[in-house]
Amino acid sequence: MALTVDLVKRKPDWLRVSLPIGDEYERVKAKVNALSLHTVCKEAACPNVAECWGAGTATIMILGDECTRGCRFCNVKTGNPRGKIDWLEPLRVSEAVRDLGWRYLVVTAVDRDDLPDGGALIFANTVRAIHERVPGARVEILSGDYRGDLRAVDIVLDAKPDVFAHNLETVRRLTPSVRDKRAAYDQSLSVLAHAKRRAPERYTKTSLMLGLGETEAEIETAMDDARAAGVDIFTMGQYLQPSKKHLPVVEFVSPRQFDRLGELARRRGFHQVVSSPLSRSSYHAEQAF
C-alpha cells in the first residue's frame, strides 16, 4: 500500500526553515573556513544548518569536496580527485573539535573510488586524532561502502568510532535509479552487517530518504533488512530536490506519517529511531547516548 501523501508544487509549511544566522553559527563558519574544512551541512544543502551550527555542532566532510560517484539525489559535486589526499586533514578536524568545544562529531566523506582503500585510512586517522586531542569526545562515522571491500571497513573500525553509520538511502526497488551504479542495496547491508559482527559493542546506523516514490510496505521491508543486519539506529527524513538536475520529489510525507513510520520502526527494536520531515542521518545523532 502506497503512502498517503500531500502532492503539492511547493514545499509545505512544515519544511520551511529559518535562515542560518547567529553568533554561534558565525563562529562555526569562521573556524571551518579558517581550517580549510568542508561540511556536509553546506555541501549537501542540509536544511538543518541553522539549528545545528547555532548549537555548535556540524558534520565534517573529509577527503575533499569532489565525489567520484554521481548519485541522483546528492548536491555534492562529482569528479575525479585523481588520488589527491590531504594527510594533515585529520589534525585540522581534531583542532576544530577542540577549539569549538564539540563533544560529539559526525565525520563523513565523499566517495573516493580513486583510492585503493576508498579513503578508509583517512577516516581512521581522523577518529584517532579526535580521540587523542579531545579525550571523551564521541565520534560517529558516516561511511561509504568501499565498493564492498570489508578490509577497508575493518581499517575504519580498528580506530574505534563510537557509531558506524552507512546509509541505505532508499528502498531496494529504487536503489538503481537513485544511487550511483556502483552502490547496491545488498552491498550496503553487507557493510552494515559486517560492521556489527566485527564490533558488536558499537552502534551501527542507517538512514532512508522518503518521498521518492517508495511504498510503506517497501519502507517496512527496509526496516526489517536493517534489523536483520544488526543495525541499532534507524533514521528517516524527507528527500528535498537540491536543484532541477536532481531527482524530483514525488511526494511530501506529512509529519503525522513520519510519526507513524517511526513507531513502526521502534516496534522492531531499534535502539534509537529518528523520524521527521527535516531529519537527516546525523540530525540529533548525539541523543543515541
Name every residue whose Cβ is closer than 8 Å to that of residue 157 and which is 6 or more positions away in sequence. Answer: 164, 195, 198, 199, 202
- pLDDT score of 7: 43
- Give the separation between CA 220 and CA 226, rounded to whole angstroms: 10
The band of 257, judged by pLDDT with boundaries at 50, 70 and 90, is very high
Beta carbons of 281 and 207 less than 8 angstroms apart: yes
- pLDDT score of 48: 59
255 residue type, one letter = P
**Whole-prediction pTM value?**
0.89
pLDDT at 8 over 50: no
Can you name the CATH fold of 13-288? Answer: TIM Barrel (3.20.20)
pLDDT at 279 over 60: yes
The model's pLDDT over 212-250, given as tens digits with 9 standing for 90+, comes to 999 999 999 999 999 999 999 999 999 999 889 999 999
pLDDT at 56 over 70: no
- Give the separation between CA 154 and CA 77, rounded to whole angstroms: 28
Domain ranges of the chain: 13-288
Name every residue whose Cβ is closer than 8 Å to that of residue 88 and which is 6 or more positions away in sequence. Answer: none
Three cell numbers at 56? 555548535
Name every residue whose Cβ is closer than 8 Å to that of residue 194 and which is 6 or more positions away in sequence. Answer: 150, 153
Residues forming a β-bridge with 93: none
pLDDT at 31 over 90: no
Highest mean pLDDT among 6-10, 17-21, 73-77: 73-77
Average pLDDT of the chain, as a whole number: 88
